[in-house]
Structure 1
Protein backbone atom coordinates (compact mmCIF):
# COMPACT_ATOMS: atom_id res chain seq x y z
CA UNK A 1 0.00 0.00 0.00
CA UNK A 2 2.86 2.40 0.75
CA UNK A 3 4.18 1.82 -2.80
CA UNK A 4 1.31 3.76 -4.38
CA UNK A 5 2.54 7.27 -3.51
CA UNK A 6 5.96 6.28 -4.86
CA UNK A 7 4.38 4.83 -7.97
CA UNK A 8 2.29 7.92 -8.65
CA UNK A 9 5.19 10.27 -7.88
CA UNK A 10 7.53 8.34 -10.16
CA UNK A 11 4.95 8.22 -12.98
CA UNK A 12 4.43 11.99 -12.75
CA UNK A 13 8.21 12.56 -12.72
CA UNK A 14 8.78 10.24 -15.68
CA UNK A 15 5.84 11.71 -17.60
CA UNK A 16 7.25 15.20 -17.00
CA UNK A 17 10.53 14.11 -18.60
CA UNK A 18 8.58 12.72 -21.55
CA UNK A 19 6.60 15.93 -22.00
CA UNK A 20 9.77 18.02 -21.89
CA UNK A 21 11.21 15.65 -24.49
CA UNK A 22 8.08 16.07 -26.60
CA UNK A 23 8.41 19.86 -26.52
CA UNK A 24 12.13 19.62 -27.31
CA UNK A 25 11.37 17.34 -30.27
CA UNK A 26 8.82 19.83 -31.62
CA UNK A 27 11.49 22.56 -31.46
CA UNK A 28 14.03 20.33 -33.21
CA UNK A 29 11.51 19.48 -35.94
CA UNK A 30 10.62 23.17 -36.27
CA UNK A 31 14.32 23.98 -36.71
CA UNK A 32 14.76 21.23 -39.32
CA UNK A 33 11.69 22.55 -41.16
CA UNK A 34 13.20 26.04 -41.07
CA UNK A 35 16.49 24.77 -42.53
CA UNK A 36 14.77 22.82 -45.32
CA UNK A 37 12.53 25.76 -46.18
CA UNK A 38 15.34 28.31 -46.02
CA UNK A 39 17.46 26.30 -48.42
CA UNK A 40 14.54 25.41 -50.69
CA UNK A 41 13.05 28.90 -50.84
CA UNK A 42 16.49 30.40 -51.48
CA UNK A 43 17.18 27.92 -54.28
CA UNK A 44 13.87 28.69 -56.01
CA UNK A 45 14.53 32.40 -55.52
CA UNK A 46 11.48 33.14 -53.35
CA UNK A 47 11.19 36.69 -52.07
CA UNK A 48 11.95 37.08 -48.33
CA UNK A 49 13.02 33.42 -48.12
CA UNK A 50 14.31 33.49 -44.53
CA UNK A 51 11.41 35.42 -42.89
CA UNK A 52 8.90 33.26 -44.76
CA UNK A 53 10.77 30.10 -43.68
CA UNK A 54 10.57 31.30 -40.06
CA UNK A 55 6.83 31.95 -40.33
CA UNK A 56 6.09 28.63 -42.03
CA UNK A 57 8.22 26.63 -39.57
CA UNK A 58 6.26 28.19 -36.68
CA UNK A 59 2.95 27.39 -38.41
CA UNK A 60 4.20 23.85 -38.97
CA UNK A 61 3.37 23.11 -35.32
CA UNK A 62 -0.33 23.05 -36.29
CA UNK A 63 -1.36 19.40 -36.65
CA UNK A 64 -2.27 18.10 -40.11
CA UNK A 65 -2.09 21.47 -41.92
CA UNK A 66 1.34 22.67 -40.83
CA UNK A 67 3.47 24.14 -43.58
CA UNK A 68 0.79 23.29 -46.12
CA UNK A 69 -1.40 26.09 -44.78
CA UNK A 70 0.98 28.50 -46.55
CA UNK A 71 2.79 26.47 -49.19
CA UNK A 72 -0.22 24.82 -50.85
CA UNK A 73 -2.21 28.03 -51.52
CA UNK A 74 1.00 29.88 -52.45
CA UNK A 75 1.84 27.13 -54.93
CA UNK A 76 -1.64 27.21 -56.52
CA UNK A 77 -1.76 30.99 -56.74
CA UNK A 78 1.71 31.11 -58.24
CA UNK A 79 0.96 28.35 -60.73
CA UNK A 80 -2.35 29.72 -61.98
CA UNK A 81 -1.84 33.48 -61.76
CA UNK A 82 1.80 34.50 -61.67
CA UNK A 83 4.60 32.03 -62.41
CA UNK A 84 3.93 28.38 -63.28
CA UNK A 85 7.52 27.30 -62.73
CA UNK A 86 7.64 28.93 -59.30
CA UNK A 87 4.33 27.29 -58.36
CA UNK A 88 5.65 23.87 -59.38
CA UNK A 89 8.87 24.49 -57.44
CA UNK A 90 6.87 25.42 -54.32
CA UNK A 91 4.83 22.22 -54.66
CA UNK A 92 8.00 20.16 -55.05
CA UNK A 93 9.55 21.87 -52.02
CA UNK A 94 6.45 21.10 -49.98
CA UNK A 95 6.49 17.44 -51.05
CA UNK A 96 10.22 17.04 -50.35
CA UNK A 97 9.86 18.67 -46.94
CA UNK A 98 6.84 16.52 -46.07
CA UNK A 99 8.57 13.29 -47.12
CA UNK A 100 11.75 14.15 -45.19
CA UNK A 101 9.74 15.00 -42.10
CA UNK A 102 7.80 11.72 -42.31
CA UNK A 103 11.09 9.86 -42.00
CA UNK A 104 12.78 11.96 -39.33
CA UNK A 105 9.87 13.01 -37.12
CA UNK A 106 9.09 9.62 -35.52
CA UNK A 107 12.81 9.04 -34.83
CA UNK A 108 13.36 12.46 -33.24
CA UNK A 109 10.12 12.28 -31.27
CA UNK A 110 10.81 8.73 -30.12
CA UNK A 111 14.36 9.57 -29.03
CA UNK A 112 13.24 12.62 -27.08
CA UNK A 113 10.24 11.11 -25.29
CA UNK A 114 11.73 7.67 -24.68
CA UNK A 115 9.21 5.80 -26.82
CA UNK A 116 10.23 3.71 -29.82
CA UNK A 117 9.72 5.45 -33.18
CA UNK A 118 7.22 2.80 -34.35
CA UNK A 119 5.11 3.27 -31.20
CA UNK A 120 5.33 7.03 -31.62
CA UNK A 121 4.16 6.72 -35.22
CA UNK A 122 1.30 4.40 -34.23
CA UNK A 123 0.30 6.73 -31.36
CA UNK A 124 0.24 9.67 -33.77
CA UNK A 125 -1.92 7.82 -36.31
CA UNK A 126 -4.32 6.39 -33.71
CA UNK A 127 -4.52 9.77 -31.99
CA UNK A 128 -5.42 11.49 -35.26
CA UNK A 129 -8.03 8.85 -36.10
CA UNK A 130 -9.70 9.01 -32.68
CA UNK A 131 -9.25 12.70 -31.80
CA UNK A 132 -8.77 14.35 -35.19
CA UNK A 133 -6.04 16.93 -35.77
CA UNK A 134 -5.41 17.52 -32.07
CA UNK A 135 -4.80 13.78 -31.74
CA UNK A 136 -1.57 14.23 -33.69
CA UNK A 137 -0.23 16.01 -30.62
CA UNK A 138 -2.17 14.13 -27.94
CA UNK A 139 -1.41 10.64 -29.29
CA UNK A 140 2.32 10.82 -28.54
CA UNK A 141 1.63 12.48 -25.19
CA UNK A 142 -0.70 9.62 -24.23
CA UNK A 143 2.06 7.22 -25.35
CA UNK A 144 4.43 9.04 -22.97
CA UNK A 145 2.05 8.52 -20.05
CA UNK A 146 1.49 4.83 -20.89
CA UNK A 147 5.23 4.31 -21.36
CA UNK A 148 5.92 6.03 -18.03
CA UNK A 149 3.42 3.83 -16.20
CA UNK A 150 4.97 0.68 -17.69
CA UNK A 151 8.57 1.78 -17.09
CA UNK A 152 7.99 2.94 -13.49
CA UNK A 153 5.99 -0.19 -12.67
CA UNK A 154 8.82 -2.38 -14.01
CA UNK A 155 11.44 -0.43 -12.05
CA UNK A 156 9.47 -0.65 -8.80
CA UNK A 157 8.85 -4.39 -9.30
CA UNK A 158 12.60 -4.96 -9.83
CA UNK A 159 13.37 -3.24 -6.54
CA UNK A 160 11.11 -5.64 -4.61
Structure 2
Protein backbone atom coordinates (compact mmCIF):
# COMPACT_ATOMS: atom_id res chain seq x y z
CA UNK A 1 0.00 0.00 0.00
CA UNK A 2 1.36 3.38 -1.02
CA UNK A 3 1.77 6.13 1.61
CA UNK A 4 -0.96 8.19 -0.08
CA UNK A 5 -3.48 5.34 0.10
CA UNK A 6 -2.52 4.58 3.68
CA UNK A 7 -3.07 8.24 4.62
CA UNK A 8 -6.45 8.27 2.86
CA UNK A 9 -7.50 5.06 4.65
CA UNK A 10 -6.30 6.48 7.96
CA UNK A 11 -8.38 9.65 7.59
CA UNK A 12 -11.41 7.64 6.43
CA UNK A 13 -11.27 5.41 9.52
CA UNK A 14 -10.76 8.46 11.73
CA UNK A 15 -13.79 10.18 10.18
CA UNK A 16 -15.97 7.09 10.69
CA UNK A 17 -14.82 6.77 14.31
CA UNK A 18 -15.51 10.45 14.92
CA UNK A 19 -19.00 10.18 13.40
CA UNK A 20 -19.76 7.15 15.59
CA UNK A 21 -18.51 8.98 18.69
CA UNK A 22 -20.66 12.00 17.88
CA UNK A 23 -23.66 9.69 17.47
CA UNK A 24 -23.05 8.17 20.92
CA UNK A 25 -22.65 11.62 22.49
CA UNK A 26 -25.70 13.07 20.75
CA UNK A 27 -27.68 13.81 23.96
CA UNK A 28 -24.66 15.59 25.46
CA UNK A 29 -23.73 17.50 22.32
CA UNK A 30 -27.22 18.87 21.61
CA UNK A 31 -26.96 21.93 23.92
CA UNK A 32 -23.41 22.60 22.67
CA UNK A 33 -24.62 22.45 19.06
CA UNK A 34 -27.52 24.80 19.80
CA UNK A 35 -25.20 27.19 21.65
CA UNK A 36 -22.69 27.07 18.79
CA UNK A 37 -25.34 27.93 16.19
CA UNK A 38 -26.65 30.84 18.27
CA UNK A 39 -23.11 32.06 18.96
CA UNK A 40 -22.27 32.01 15.26
CA UNK A 41 -25.41 34.04 14.49
CA UNK A 42 -24.75 36.61 17.23
CA UNK A 43 -20.96 36.83 16.76
CA UNK A 44 -21.03 39.75 14.25
CA UNK A 45 -23.22 41.79 16.62
CA UNK A 46 -20.86 41.10 19.54
CA UNK A 47 -17.82 42.01 17.41
CA UNK A 48 -19.42 45.31 16.38
CA UNK A 49 -20.47 46.11 19.96
CA UNK A 50 -16.98 45.30 21.27
CA UNK A 51 -15.61 47.99 18.94
CA UNK A 52 -17.45 50.70 20.86
CA UNK A 53 -15.49 52.91 23.22
CA UNK A 54 -15.12 51.52 26.77
CA UNK A 55 -16.89 48.32 25.70
CA UNK A 56 -14.94 45.11 26.34
CA UNK A 57 -15.62 41.81 24.63
CA UNK A 58 -17.12 40.43 27.85
CA UNK A 59 -19.42 43.44 28.27
CA UNK A 60 -20.49 43.25 24.63
CA UNK A 61 -21.32 39.56 25.03
CA UNK A 62 -23.41 40.24 28.13
CA UNK A 63 -25.23 43.09 26.38
CA UNK A 64 -26.11 41.01 23.31
CA UNK A 65 -27.33 38.09 25.42
CA UNK A 66 -29.44 40.49 27.49
CA UNK A 67 -31.04 41.82 24.30
CA UNK A 68 -31.76 38.23 23.22
CA UNK A 69 -33.39 37.49 26.59
CA UNK A 70 -35.52 40.64 26.37
CA UNK A 71 -36.65 39.64 22.87
CA UNK A 72 -37.70 36.17 24.05
CA UNK A 73 -39.54 37.57 27.07
CA UNK A 74 -41.32 40.10 24.83
CA UNK A 75 -42.42 37.28 22.53
CA UNK A 76 -43.84 35.35 25.49
CA UNK A 77 -45.59 38.47 26.78
CA UNK A 78 -47.30 38.77 23.40
CA UNK A 79 -48.26 35.10 23.12
CA UNK A 80 -49.37 34.15 26.63
CA UNK A 81 -51.91 36.94 27.33
CA UNK A 82 -53.31 36.54 23.82
CA UNK A 83 -53.71 32.80 24.30
CA UNK A 84 -55.28 33.22 27.74
CA UNK A 85 -57.71 35.92 26.58
CA UNK A 86 -58.80 34.04 23.48
CA UNK A 87 -59.17 30.78 25.42
CA UNK A 88 -61.57 32.52 27.81
CA UNK A 89 -63.60 33.87 24.89
CA UNK A 90 -63.63 30.41 23.36
CA UNK A 91 -65.03 28.84 26.51
CA UNK A 92 -67.72 31.54 26.69
CA UNK A 93 -68.73 30.81 23.11
CA UNK A 94 -68.44 27.04 23.47
CA UNK A 95 -72.18 26.29 23.92
CA UNK A 96 -72.94 28.08 20.66
CA UNK A 97 -70.17 26.19 18.87
CA UNK A 98 -71.43 22.85 20.18
CA UNK A 99 -74.92 23.65 18.92
CA UNK A 100 -73.45 24.44 15.48
CA UNK A 101 -71.69 21.06 15.48
CA UNK A 102 -74.88 19.25 16.48
CA UNK A 103 -77.17 21.06 14.03
CA UNK A 104 -74.89 21.38 10.98
CA UNK A 105 -71.87 19.11 11.08
CA UNK A 106 -73.43 15.89 12.38
CA UNK A 107 -76.24 15.85 9.76
CA UNK A 108 -73.60 16.31 7.03
CA UNK A 109 -71.57 13.39 8.40
CA UNK A 110 -74.65 11.20 8.45
CA UNK A 111 -75.77 12.29 4.97
CA UNK A 112 -72.46 11.92 3.10
CA UNK A 113 -70.57 9.31 5.13
CA UNK A 114 -73.33 7.32 6.81
CA UNK A 115 -71.98 8.15 10.27
CA UNK A 116 -74.81 8.26 12.79
CA UNK A 117 -73.21 9.99 15.77
CA UNK A 118 -75.04 10.28 19.07
CA UNK A 119 -74.53 13.73 20.55
CA UNK A 120 -75.54 14.84 24.02
CA UNK A 121 -74.48 18.48 23.92
CA UNK A 122 -75.68 19.31 27.44
CA UNK A 123 -73.66 16.55 29.06
CA UNK A 124 -70.59 17.46 27.02
CA UNK A 125 -70.89 21.15 27.99
CA UNK A 126 -71.20 20.31 31.68
CA UNK A 127 -68.28 17.89 31.55
CA UNK A 128 -65.99 20.32 29.73
CA UNK A 129 -66.96 23.23 31.97
CA UNK A 130 -66.34 21.16 35.08
CA UNK A 131 -62.86 20.14 33.95
CA UNK A 132 -62.02 23.63 32.74
CA UNK A 133 -62.90 25.20 36.10
CA UNK A 134 -61.01 22.54 38.03
CA UNK A 135 -57.87 22.77 35.94
CA UNK A 136 -55.89 23.32 39.11
CA UNK A 137 -56.45 19.67 39.96
CA UNK A 138 -54.31 18.69 37.03
CA UNK A 139 -51.24 19.39 39.15
CA UNK A 140 -52.16 16.46 41.34
CA UNK A 141 -51.80 14.17 38.35
CA UNK A 142 -48.82 15.92 36.82
CA UNK A 143 -46.64 15.93 39.93
CA UNK A 144 -46.46 12.12 40.29
CA UNK A 145 -45.55 11.90 36.60
CA UNK A 146 -42.81 14.47 37.15
CA UNK A 147 -41.55 12.42 40.08
CA UNK A 148 -41.32 9.27 37.98
CA UNK A 149 -39.67 11.19 35.15
CA UNK A 150 -37.48 13.31 37.40
CA UNK A 151 -34.20 12.39 35.75
CA UNK A 152 -35.50 13.31 32.30
CA UNK A 153 -36.80 16.63 33.60
CA UNK A 154 -33.52 17.40 35.34
CA UNK A 155 -31.58 16.65 32.15
CA UNK A 156 -33.89 18.93 30.17
CA UNK A 157 -33.47 21.78 32.66
CA UNK A 158 -29.69 21.31 32.74
CA UNK A 159 -29.54 21.43 28.95
CA UNK A 160 -31.62 24.61 28.90
CA UNK A 161 -29.31 26.20 31.49
CA UNK A 162 -26.23 24.95 29.68
CA UNK A 163 -27.09 26.60 26.35
CA UNK A 164 -26.72 30.25 27.52
CA UNK A 165 -23.64 29.38 29.59
CA UNK A 166 -21.86 27.74 26.65
CA UNK A 167 -23.03 30.50 24.33
CA UNK A 168 -21.56 33.18 26.62
CA UNK A 169 -18.11 31.59 26.68
CA UNK A 170 -18.15 30.92 22.93
CA UNK A 171 -19.05 34.53 22.17
CA UNK A 172 -16.53 35.94 24.61
CA UNK A 173 -13.64 33.74 23.45
CA UNK A 174 -14.55 33.60 19.73
CA UNK A 175 -11.40 35.40 18.43
CA UNK A 176 -9.17 33.23 20.61
CA UNK A 177 -10.89 30.03 19.41
CA UNK A 178 -10.43 31.04 15.77
CA UNK A 179 -6.78 31.83 16.42
CA UNK A 180 -6.17 28.44 18.04
CA UNK A 181 -7.89 26.64 15.15
CA UNK A 182 -5.88 28.64 12.62
CA UNK A 183 -2.62 27.76 14.38
CA UNK A 184 -3.54 24.05 14.37
CA UNK A 185 -4.04 23.78 10.59
CA UNK A 186 -1.11 22.03 8.84
CA UNK A 187 0.90 24.68 7.00
CA UNK A 188 0.68 22.95 3.62
CA UNK A 189 -3.15 23.06 3.82
CA UNK A 190 -3.36 26.41 5.60
CA UNK A 191 -4.10 28.75 2.69
CA UNK A 192 -6.60 26.40 1.02
CA UNK A 193 -8.38 25.70 4.31
CA UNK A 194 -8.72 29.40 5.06
CA UNK A 195 -10.02 30.01 1.55
CA UNK A 196 -12.70 27.31 1.91
CA UNK A 197 -13.60 28.49 5.43
CA UNK A 198 -14.00 32.04 4.16
CA UNK A 199 -16.33 30.88 1.38
CA UNK A 200 -18.37 28.79 3.83
CA UNK A 201 -18.66 31.76 6.17
CA UNK A 202 -19.81 34.00 3.30
CA UNK A 203 -22.39 31.43 2.16
CA UNK A 204 -23.77 31.03 5.69
CA UNK A 205 -24.00 34.81 6.03
CA UNK A 206 -26.03 34.91 2.81
CA UNK A 207 -28.22 32.11 4.18
CA UNK A 208 -28.96 34.11 7.33
CA UNK A 209 -29.76 37.24 5.32
CA UNK A 210 -32.05 35.23 3.06
CA UNK A 211 -33.76 33.60 6.05
CA UNK A 212 -34.31 37.03 7.60
CA UNK A 213 -35.91 38.19 4.34
CA UNK A 214 -38.20 35.14 4.42
CA UNK A 215 -39.24 35.91 8.00
CA UNK A 216 -40.07 39.54 7.17
CA UNK A 217 -41.95 38.65 3.99
CA UNK A 218 -44.00 35.89 5.62
CA UNK A 219 -44.82 38.17 8.57
CA UNK A 220 -46.20 40.72 6.11
CA UNK A 221 -48.15 38.02 4.26
CA UNK A 222 -49.82 36.58 7.34
CA UNK A 223 -50.50 39.97 8.94
CA UNK A 224 -52.04 41.48 5.79
CA UNK A 225 -54.02 38.36 4.83
CA UNK A 226 -55.46 37.95 8.34
CA UNK A 227 -56.22 41.67 8.57
CA UNK A 228 -58.19 41.51 5.31
CA UNK A 229 -60.54 38.99 6.94
CA UNK A 230 -61.34 41.57 9.62
CA UNK A 231 -60.04 39.28 12.36
CA UNK A 232 -58.81 40.66 15.68
CA UNK A 233 -55.10 40.49 16.60
CA UNK A 234 -54.11 39.98 12.95
CA UNK A 235 -50.87 41.97 13.35
CA UNK A 236 -49.34 40.14 16.37
CA UNK A 237 -50.43 36.72 15.09
CA UNK A 238 -49.00 37.48 11.64
CA UNK A 239 -45.69 38.71 13.07
CA UNK A 240 -45.31 35.69 15.37
CA UNK A 241 -46.18 33.27 12.55
CA UNK A 242 -43.68 34.88 10.19
CA UNK A 243 -40.83 35.33 12.66
CA UNK A 244 -40.95 31.65 13.65
CA UNK A 245 -40.77 30.23 10.12
CA UNK A 246 -37.04 29.56 10.57
CA UNK A 247 -38.06 26.66 12.86
CA UNK A 248 -39.84 24.11 10.64
CA UNK A 249 -43.59 23.96 11.25
CA UNK A 250 -43.36 25.87 14.56
CA UNK A 251 -44.47 29.22 13.16
CA UNK A 252 -47.32 27.68 11.19
CA UNK A 253 -48.56 25.56 14.12
CA UNK A 254 -48.46 28.36 16.71
CA UNK A 255 -49.95 30.86 14.28
CA UNK A 256 -52.68 28.44 13.20
CA UNK A 257 -53.67 27.64 16.80
CA UNK A 258 -53.80 31.31 17.80
CA UNK A 259 -55.62 32.34 14.62
CA UNK A 260 -58.15 29.52 15.00
CA UNK A 261 -58.92 30.55 18.58
CA UNK A 262 -59.43 34.15 17.50
CA UNK A 263 -61.46 33.18 14.41
CA UNK A 264 -63.79 30.90 16.37
CA UNK A 265 -64.56 33.69 18.84
CA UNK A 266 -64.70 36.46 16.23
CA UNK A 267 -66.62 35.12 13.23
CA UNK A 268 -70.29 34.21 13.33
CA UNK A 269 -69.95 31.19 11.01
CA UNK A 270 -67.43 28.47 10.32
CA UNK A 271 -66.66 30.05 6.92
CA UNK A 272 -64.35 32.54 8.62
CA UNK A 273 -62.41 29.72 10.29
CA UNK A 274 -62.03 27.93 6.95
CA UNK A 275 -60.72 31.14 5.37
CA UNK A 276 -58.10 31.44 8.14
CA UNK A 277 -57.06 27.83 7.60
CA UNK A 278 -56.80 28.52 3.87
CA UNK A 279 -54.50 31.48 4.57
CA UNK A 280 -52.11 29.32 6.57
CA UNK A 281 -52.21 26.53 3.97
CA UNK A 282 -51.39 29.08 1.25
CA UNK A 283 -48.65 30.53 3.46
CA UNK A 284 -47.03 27.12 3.91
CA UNK A 285 -47.07 26.47 0.17
CA UNK A 286 -45.78 29.96 -0.61
CA UNK A 287 -42.95 29.73 1.92
CA UNK A 288 -41.89 26.18 1.05
CA UNK A 289 -42.15 26.28 -2.74
CA UNK A 290 -41.51 29.91 -3.70
CA UNK A 291 -40.16 32.24 -1.02
CA UNK A 292 -37.48 30.05 0.60
CA UNK A 293 -36.19 28.56 -2.70
CA UNK A 294 -35.90 32.03 -4.24
CA UNK A 295 -34.72 34.20 -1.35
CA UNK A 296 -32.51 31.61 0.36
CA UNK A 297 -31.64 29.24 -2.48
CA UNK A 298 -30.51 31.97 -4.86
CA UNK A 299 -28.31 33.57 -2.19
CA UNK A 300 -26.47 30.36 -1.34
CA UNK A 301 -26.26 29.16 -4.94
CA UNK A 302 -28.81 26.34 -4.71
CA UNK A 303 -31.38 25.79 -7.43
CA UNK A 304 -34.99 26.01 -6.12
CA UNK A 305 -35.42 22.29 -6.82
CA UNK A 306 -32.21 21.68 -4.87
CA UNK A 307 -33.65 23.57 -1.90
CA UNK A 308 -36.84 21.51 -1.92
CA UNK A 309 -34.86 18.26 -2.31
CA UNK A 310 -32.49 19.20 0.53
CA UNK A 311 -35.37 19.95 2.90
CA UNK A 312 -37.12 16.68 2.08
CA UNK A 313 -33.95 14.55 2.14
CA UNK A 314 -32.54 15.92 5.40
CA UNK A 315 -35.98 15.74 6.99
CA UNK A 316 -36.26 12.08 6.02
CA UNK A 317 -32.76 11.27 7.29
CA UNK A 318 -32.53 13.36 10.45
CA UNK A 319 -36.08 14.43 11.30
CA UNK A 320 -36.81 17.86 12.75
CA UNK A 321 -33.20 18.98 13.15
CA UNK A 322 -32.48 17.74 9.65
CA UNK A 323 -35.04 20.15 8.21
CA UNK A 324 -33.69 22.93 10.42
CA UNK A 325 -30.08 22.45 9.27
CA UNK A 326 -30.74 21.26 5.70
CA UNK A 327 -29.98 24.51 3.88
CA UNK A 328 -26.86 25.65 5.79
CA UNK A 329 -25.35 22.16 5.55
CA UNK A 330 -26.22 22.00 1.84
CA UNK A 331 -24.56 25.39 1.36
CA UNK A 332 -21.35 24.13 3.00
CA UNK A 333 -21.43 20.93 0.92
CA UNK A 334 -21.87 23.07 -2.19
CA UNK A 335 -18.67 24.98 -1.40
CA UNK A 336 -16.81 21.69 -0.95
CA UNK A 337 -18.20 20.31 -4.22
CA UNK A 338 -17.07 23.43 -6.10
CA UNK A 339 -13.51 22.99 -4.86
CA UNK A 340 -13.61 19.25 -5.55
CA UNK A 341 -14.77 19.96 -9.10
CA UNK A 342 -11.92 22.43 -9.59
CA UNK A 343 -9.41 19.84 -8.36
CA UNK A 344 -10.97 17.14 -10.54
CA UNK A 345 -10.82 19.24 -13.72
CA UNK A 346 -7.09 19.82 -13.19
CA UNK A 347 -6.30 16.23 -12.18
CA UNK A 348 -4.36 13.81 -14.43
CA UNK A 349 -7.31 11.41 -14.22
CA UNK A 350 -9.56 13.93 -16.01
CA UNK A 351 -6.97 15.18 -18.49
CA UNK A 352 -5.72 11.72 -19.47
TM-score range for the pair, normalised by the shorter chain length? 0.7 to 0.9
Distance 2:316 2:254 in 1: 20
Q: What are the Cα deviations for residues 51-101 of structure 1, in whole angstroms up to 9, with x where unaligned?
A: 22112211222213322222146327744x663232112101111111211
Residue 284 of structure 2, aligned match among 98, 104, 125: 98
Pick which of 87-96 and 150-159 moved more: 150-159
Distance 2:189 2:337 in 1: 14
Distance 2:289 2:219 in 1: 16
**What are the residue-to-residue correspondences of 1:89-128 with 2, within 5 Å?**
89-104=275-290, 105-128=292-315
Pick which of 57-66 and 23-32 moved more: 57-66
Give the superposition deviation at 1:23. Answer: 0.7
Give the superposition deviation at 1:20. Answer: 0.7
Give the superposition deviation at 1:128. Answer: 0.9
Number of the residue aligned with 2:247: 62
Pick which of 27-36 and 82-91 moved more: 82-91
1:132 alignment partner, SS class: helix
Number of the residue aligned with 2:23: none
Q: Structure 1: where are the runs of 5+ without partners?
A: none
**Residues 64 and 133 in structure 1, CA contact (< 8 A), matched pair in contact too:** no
**What are the residue-to-residue correspondences of 1:1-160 with 2, within 5 Å?**
4-72=189-257, 74-75=259-260, 78-79=263-264, 83=267, 84-104=270-290, 105-155=292-342
* TM-score between both structures, scaled by the size of structure 1: 0.84
Q: Max radius of gyration: which structure?
A: 2
Change in Cα spacing, 1:51 to 1:65, as seen in structure 2 (3 Å) is closer
Change in Cα spacing, 1:14 to 1:53, as seen in structure 2 (3 Å) is same
* TM-score between both structures, scaled by the size of structure 2: 0.41
Q: How many residues align?
A: 159
Give the superposition deviation at 1:124. Answer: 1.2
